[in-house]
Amino acid sequence: MNYTCQEHFSALAVFLLSIYFNMRLRFLIAISLSSLTAIDLPARQSSTKWIMLNITPAQAQADCHLLQLPDGSNILIDAGEAWDAPNVAVALLRKLGVHRISMVIISHFHKDHYGQLVPIIRAGIAIDKVILNVPDKRSADLEIPWGCDLNDVQSVLAELRARKIPYTTPKAGDRIYEYKTRDRVIVSLDIICAYDGVHSPIGLTDVNDTSIVLRLSHGPTRVLFSGDLNQKLGAYLVASGVDLRADILKAPHHGAETTVPDAFYTKVHASAVLVPASKALWLSARCMRTRNYFYNAGVPAYVSGLRGNVTVTMTSKGYKIEAEH
């Protein structure tokens, strides 16, 4: 090879190498942009998704509801654990690619509603704040030794403080979330009630009746999240005239007996009910009244233990419900 050929060869090699690195660079930029879009910058959308996670694959019951909002944020209503199905909520949130939750709302302090809060934090899922309602000791002590464990509640609060995750207790009438979508629909979360089990209009109640009850609205669609609301406070809310109407009801207390009276269901007047319960519980005598009420009213019931994860998608036009199976 003479000098000129060598020169041409080197120039060609440099040219080919520059094409290769240019393409590789573009490829890497494209990869990093797509992962940014998918993970760090969730695309703004005009729908709200509510996924009732199936965390009740065995016999026991528990609540965990993921809201994916049009501003790209995630909100969790309850982070429960069924005693016979540990760590299911953490596993499902990971599977769904949830890395950050802007707000966790713990409806009340029973482990089937808060048992996965600390495991979620320890799994590295960032939580910006927590909305909760600690029951008065007199209400909690009614349930020794089987129900609310105030020592465990204090350890959860200590963990939140240690990790500098702020927590607050709301009151009736508070709007804890509001967002206007690009198609000018208001999405909001409004607190209906949050009593402490002693300072309530009906005096001393059980811990289920300390449930934070809240309404999610997406334009024309309303969803009522009712925690584990029970007979006593449920009857009071019906009589009080508070606006309970909703298109979809998250069944209180897993649909099991001691929950709200039928008059509550009538007042809500929902077109569908989502029930976070195992198949065994839903088909047992404990759920017979609720099961019959909705069957007779012609209202479809989506039960997590039977249908898997149930997803409700809300837009400005209305909503649709899809079940895993």
Region binding Zn ion by CB under 5 A among candidate stretches 91-99, 222-230, 239-247, 258-266: 222-230
Min separation Cβ 228 and Zn ion, Å: 4
Cβ at position 61, least distance to Zn ion in Å: 6
Per-position b or e across 240-269, b if 16+ CB within 10 A of its CB = eeeebebbbbbbbbbbbeebbbeebbebbe
Distance between CA atoms of 64 and 114, rounded to whole angstroms? Answer: 9
Closer residue to Zn ion (CB): 47 or 56:
56
Least distance from Zn ion to the Cβ atom of residue 62, Å = 7
Output 70 or 234, the one with its CB closest to Zn ion.
Answer: 234
Return d(Cα 113, Cα 110) in angstroms, integer: 6
Compute how many residues bind Zn ion; rule: CB under 5 A: 2
Decide: is 206 part of the binding site for Zn ion (CB under 5 A). no
Instruction: CB nearer to Zn ion: give 253 or 267.
Output: 253
In 3D space, the residue among 121, 152, 132 whose CA is nearest the CA of residue 227 turns out to be 132
* Interface characters, 80-119, with Zn ion (x: CB under 5 A): --------------------------------x-------
Strand partners, 77: 65, 105
Residue closer to Zn ion by CB (options 206, 228) is: 228
- Rounded Cα gap, residues 245 and 269, in angstroms: 6
Q: Which is nearer to Zn ion, 112 or 247 (CB)?
A: 112
DSSP string, 51-98: EE----SSSS---EEEEE-TTS-EEEEEE--BTTBTTHHHHHHHHTT-
Residues within window 224-243 making contact with Zn ion, judged by CB under 5 A:
228
- Residue 323 tokens read as 């079940």
Alpha-carbon distance 246 to 250, whole Å?
A: 10
Instruction: Please check whether residue 310 is in contact with residue 274, taking contact to mean a CB–CB distance below 8 angstroms.
Output: yes
* Least distance to Zn ion, CB of residue 256, Å: 8
Cβ 71 to Zn ion, closest distance in Å?
Answer: 29
Window 292 to 321, contacts with Zn ion (CB under 5 A): none
- Of 182-201, which residues contact Zn ion (CB under 5 A)? none
Q: Indicate the residue among 82 and 238 with the shorter CB distance to Zn ion.
A: 82
Cβ atoms < 10 Å from Cβ of 292? 11
Nearest-angstrom CA–CA distance, 167 and 103: 9
> Which of 81, 112 has the CB closer to Zn ion?
112
Q: Are 146 and 95 in contact (CB under 8 A)?
A: no
Q: How far is the CB of 95 from Zn ion (least distance, A)?
A: 23
Q: Decide whether 187 or 275 has the Cβ nearer to Zn ion.
A: 275
Q: Give min distance, CB of 80 to Zn ion, in A.
A: 7
Q: What is the C-alpha separation between 39 and 216, in angstroms, rounded?
A: 25
Rg (CA), the chain: 25
Q: Tell me how many helices (H) and strands (E) the chain has.
A: 11, 17
Residues interacting with Zn ion, by CB under 5 A?
112, 228
